[in-house]
Amino acid sequence: MKRIGVLGGMSWESSVEYERVMNEAVRERLGGTHSADLIVRSYDFAEIEALQAAGDWDALAQRLARDARALEAAGAQLLVIATNTMHVVAPQVQAAIGIPLLHIADATADAVVAAGLGTVALLGTRYTMELPFYRDRLAEHGISVLVPEEPDRTLVHDVIYGELVRGVVSAESRADYLAVIHRLRDAGTQGVVAGCTEIELLVRPEDLDCPLFPTARLHALAAVEAALAP
């Protein structure tokens, strides 16, 4: 089993889900008392959020690249960034290390393609919905992407930072998200990408009449597959 390096704590609410999914998947595959071999670098998310809000992606890229090198030096054989938004700096992180960085959008795209869908809605932080890094990566797999119009886009973003990263999961916000998804369904989406790992804490597959792609779970399972591959 290869050692997985995890850049997480962005926020820890979703990072603990990564660890749970990876450990459960390894135990299911190998049996007994087996669990995942992990090295985790968890951040004070307030510092990350402040740099995001300031648009200082260069500082974030430098920080994650430095820590990725540290995880590699500590024995990590592959790396995951346990968040969708911070994949905006994935190219800089990959360039800084000699081990594979498993991209969350690739794991998501594989699931979308396997489901036979061509158009999906992307919900996430404002950065994930508005910057091209995620949509372009999905487009490389032949997937068309819809994002919410305003004011829905602001609502989706504000619930993430005002509630979900703080551990608040409310029925009211779930209803608001489902209304956003309903409008995207009317616009032609065939499925929904939970493009912020915390969204999986709020919206559940049984809430929808179309497929939901839980990016954190898909990414964590892809990491286990890579770790257990010969």
Closest to 52 in 3D by CA, of 154, 161, 129, 127 = 127
Residue pair 37/1 in contact (Cβ under 8 Å)? The answer is: yes
pLDDT tens string 161-186: 999 989 899 999 999 999 999 999 99
- State pTM to two decimals: 0.92
Work out the pLDDT band at 3, boundaries 50, 70, 90.
very high
H-type helices in 126-168, by residue range?
A: 126-130, 132-139, 152-162
pLDDT confidence band for 97 (50 / 70 / 90): very high
Asked if residues 159 and 176 have their Cβ atoms less than 8 Å apart, the reply is: yes
pLDDT tens by residue, 117-151? 999 999 999 999 999 999 999 999 999 999 999 99
Domains of the chain: 4-103+218-228 (3.40.50.1860), 105-214 (3.40.50.1860)
- What amino acid positions are annotated as catalytic residues? 83, 196
Q: CA 44, CA 78: separation in Å to the nearest integer?
A: 23
